[in-house]
Amino acid sequence: MTLPRHDFTQPPPLAPQLRVNLAQWLKRSNALLVELLAGAAVSVELQFDCSSTMMPTQLTTEWTDKSLALQLKLGQHDAQSLVALPNPLVQELIGCILGDPPHKIPVERSLTAAELSVAEVIAEMIMRSLKESWQGDVPLNLALGETESNLRRTKRFRPKESMIVCRSIAKTKLGQSHWSWLLSADFVAHLFGLPVRNHQSTDPQASRRQLEQLVRDMRAGIEVRLGAVQLTGPQLASVRVGDVVVLDQRVGDPLQASVQGEPKFLGWAGRTGNRQAFEVATEILQRRTTETPEAA
């Protein structure tokens, strides 16, 4: 059996059971959302596509400055999520609700204040479909939050932590598009009762103290070299107990101590109580050589 290679430059995938739970929930939610939109004179087919992970920096590859994104909050938890829709799809849905559906795919533009109000109604429908299709033991406490001014440059997600993207395909008279629910890992953890990651303080002084403590707790081996000698095969074979082997180290020369295999100190062998000891006499300074470019 050949195992597929994992690209470690990408965030880790979702756990299989979590992916299944999200898929089942979003399928029920989309079915209800179709009914809610139909009540507002919007004819659309919705199909759950996938749940995947990505880094917040990857938002720039899929979304534009005009994309609509509204915050969905979960109770009192300080966890982030955004409902995101492409700008042309939003314009089409708004036109249908207002009784003036476009006849071709709209060109991206900024929404007016009145259009933003209608867009919030659409977001509320999405939120309602999510809440009413939830089958957890505890009712889902979702609330519509602020509008994200620029999804491509959002600061709501931690830049070095992966996020979960739940994507659904939307088919209208003008073609195929999609809407997505962007969730932080904390948001998903609170939803499904998973352990919430303990985010460490970003205080530089606190980080420095943690690093200093880590260094203090580190252990490194020191080896003191008594000397060495090279013997031929016959000489080595003739060595017996009681033989004296002469090393290349003179008695009056200091011994060399190495840290993790790298020479660091010179000193003298001795004794402390009933233990052998080594007295550091001097530090071995490593010579740094800098390469100079050859003259042209």
CATH number of the domain that residue 281 is part of: 2.30.330.10
Q: Give residue 74's pLDDT.
A: 94
261 and 190 share a domain? no
29 and 139, same structural domain?
yes
Mark whether 175 and 224 lie in a shared domain.
no
The answer on 224 and 184 residing in a single domain is no
Q: How confident is the model at residue 207 (pLDDT cuts 50, 70, 90)?
A: low
Q: Residue 288: its pLDDT value, please?
A: 46
Same domain, 179 and 224: no
Per the domain annotation, does 295 fall within a domain? no
Based on the fold, state whether residues 146 and 44 are members of the same structural domain. Answer: yes
In this predicted structure, which of 13-17, 42-46, 53-57, 257-261 has the lowest mean pLDDT? 257-261
Which has more pLDDT, 273 or 156? 156
258 domain residue, yes or no: yes
Mean model confidence pLDDT for the chain = 86
Q: Is residue 225 domain-shared with residue 192, that is, in the same domain?
A: no
With a cut of 60, say whether residue 292 has pLDDT above it. Answer: no
Is the same domain home to 142 and 265?
no
Q: Is residue 272 part of a domain?
A: yes
Q: Crossing angle of helices 87-97/113-133, nearest 10°?
A: 90
150: in domain: yes
Any domain includes 209: no
Domain housing 263: 220-229+245-290
pLDDT digits (tens, 9 = 90+) for 55-106: 998 888 889 999 999 999 999 998 999 999 999 999 999 999 999 999 999 9
Under 8 Å CB-to-CB from 257, ≥6 apart: which residues?
Answer: 222, 223, 224, 225, 263, 264, 265, 266, 267, 278, 280
In a domain, 1, yes or no: no
Q: How many residues does the chain have?
A: 296
Q: Please give the pLDDT value at position 226.
A: 81
Residue 42: is its pLDDT beyond 80? yes
More confident: 292 or 181: 181
- Is the CB of residue 82 less than 8 Å from the CB of residue 69? yes
Report the percent of the chain where pLDDT is more than 70: 89
**Which tokens go with 193?**
């009762």
Sign of CA dihedral 111, 113, 155, 90: negative
Average pLDDT over residues 132-142: 92
CATH number at residue 27: 3.40.1550.10
Mean pLDDT confidence for 223-228:
83
Whether pLDDT at 290 is above 70: no
- Are residues 182 and 262 located together in one domain of the fold? no
Is the pTM for the entire model greater than 0.75?
A: no
Is there a single domain that holds both residue 53 and residue 118? yes
If asked whether residues 157 and 192 sit together in one domain, one would say: yes
Region 230-247: mean pLDDT is 84
Q: Which of 87-101, 191-205, 232-246 has the highest mean pLDDT?
A: 87-101
The confidence score (pLDDT) of residue 98 equals: 94
On whether both 153 and 280 belong to a single domain, the answer is no
Phi-psi region of 280 (alpha: psi -120 to 50; beta: other; left: phi over 0): beta
Give me the pLDDT at residue 5, please. 58
Domain count for the chain: 2
Q: Is residue 215 part of a domain?
A: no
Convert 71-98 to b/e letters by CB count within 10 Å (16 or more is b). Answer: bbbbeeeebbbbbbbbbbbbbbbbbbbe
235 domain residue, yes or no = no
